[in-house]
Structure 1
Amino acid sequence: MNIKVESLPAFRIAFVRQVGPYGPGNIQAMDKLKKWARERNLLTESSILLGIPQDNPETTLPENCRYDACIVISNDYQINNSICENELSGGKYVTFKVKHTAEDIQRAWTEIIPALQNNGYQIDNNPIFERYIGDMIHNDFCEICVPVTVV
């Protein structure tokens, strides 16, 4: 697993929310977002896509879990009511590059918490998210971005 520490800026995002069990519905939300972005020429080689699970499925009923499929947009891009918008806070993140398969993501999650603890980090309150940049969008890789503070 490829690990690095980054200071990320705040991002303005356009997003599609899916409510229900995590899994196939997340893929549908991301496909809907990509279609919206492609129609507006926002899906390019420099695009940054994010997948943000808003709830912990261990403490939230599956039917209430929220997942946001997002694209980073410029501050001056005009949004209409066909999509939601928000801002994602910046800060210090530890990023883990992983193959985007269910098996590899699940294995990464078992390794992330011990890796953070062994390196003196504690998870911060900002959302944890998957980030797709450049070729990652087409090559089945993503970065799991975990907000941290130093213990």
Structure 2
Amino acid sequence: MNIQLETIPETRIAYVRRTGPYGPENALAMEQLKQWAREQGLMQGPAVILGIPQDNPAITPPEHCRYDACISLPEHPPADTSVTYGVLPGGTYAVVTIAHTAEAVQQAWAEILPALSHSGYMLDQQRPVIERYKEDLVSRHLCELCFPV
């Protein structure tokens, strides 16, 4: 597993939240967000799509797990009440690039925490893990998992 350290700046986001078991239905929130972003003209340029699982499914009942489908915002974002706005905290992240499949995500989760510990890093529980979908990676069926350290 190739882990790269990256400083991600604090980022303003718009998001759509889905509550329920993590899995294929998270794609519904992602599609809702993308539709909104297209309508707002946000899908061109440097916008980055993010997925943020807010809860640990090992300790949170599946029906209470929250998943936020997000998009990074420009300096002057549109004002619209159909989405929620927030700020993603910045800091150092351990980033891995993986195939955009459920199997690859599960494998990365199983391997990353021991790999981080072995490298002397600890997961920062105060910041979320981020799924990052950059256009150049998505076109190759890849995505990034960003673990705060």
Instruction: Pick the TM interval, shorter chain.
Output: over 0.9
Spell out the pairing of 1:70-85 with structure 2 (5 A cutoff): 70-85=70-85
Structure 1 pair 45–74 and aligned structure 2 pair: CA distance change class (3 A)? closer
**What letter corresponds to residue 143 of structure 1 in structure 2?**
E
Spell out the pairing of 1:48-87 with structure 2 (5 A cutoff): 48-87=48-87
Residue in 2 that maps onto 1:98: 98
Shift of 1:82: 1.4
2:129 counterpart of 1:128: yes
C-alpha RMSD of matched pairs (Å): 1.2
Q: Quick check: 2:129–2:147 contact (8 Å CA) kept in 1?
A: yes
Shift of 1:76: 1.6
Residue in 1 that maps onto 2:115: 115
Q: How many pairs align? A: 148
In 2, Cα distance between the equivalents of 1:142 and 1:32? 19
2:141 counterpart of 1:140: yes
Q: Quick check: 1:99–1:142 contact (8 Å CA) kept in 2?
A: yes
Shift of 1:45: 5.0
Q: What's the % identity of the aligned pairs?
A: 49
Bigger drift between 47-56 and 37-46 goes to 37-46
Shift of 1:139: 3.0
In 1, Cα distance between the equivalents of 2:53 and 2:81? 22
2:24 counterpart of 1:24: yes
TM-score, normalised via structure 2 length = 0.94
2:41 counterpart of 1:41: yes
**What letter corresponds to residue 8 of structure 1 in structure 2?**
I
Shift of 1:109: 1.0
1:34 is paired with a residue of what secondary structure?
Answer: helix
TM-score, normalised via structure 1 length = 0.93
**What letter corresponds to residue 33 of structure 1 in structure 2?**
L
Residue in 1 that maps onto 2:88: 88
Shift of 1:34: 0.6
**What letter corresponds to residue 146 of structure 2 in structure 1?**
C
Mark the runs of 5 or more structure 2 residues left unpaired by the alignment.
Answer: none
2:67 is paired with a residue of what secondary structure?
Answer: strand
Shift of 1:74: 1.8
In 2, Cα distance between the equivalents of 1:50 and 1:40? 17
Shift of 1:4: 0.5
Higher strand share: 1
Q: Quick check: 1:21–1:64 contact (8 Å CA) kept in 2?
A: yes
Mark the runs of 5 or more structure 1 residues left unpaired by the alignment.
Answer: none
In 2, Cα distance between the equivalents of 1:82 and 1:146? 29
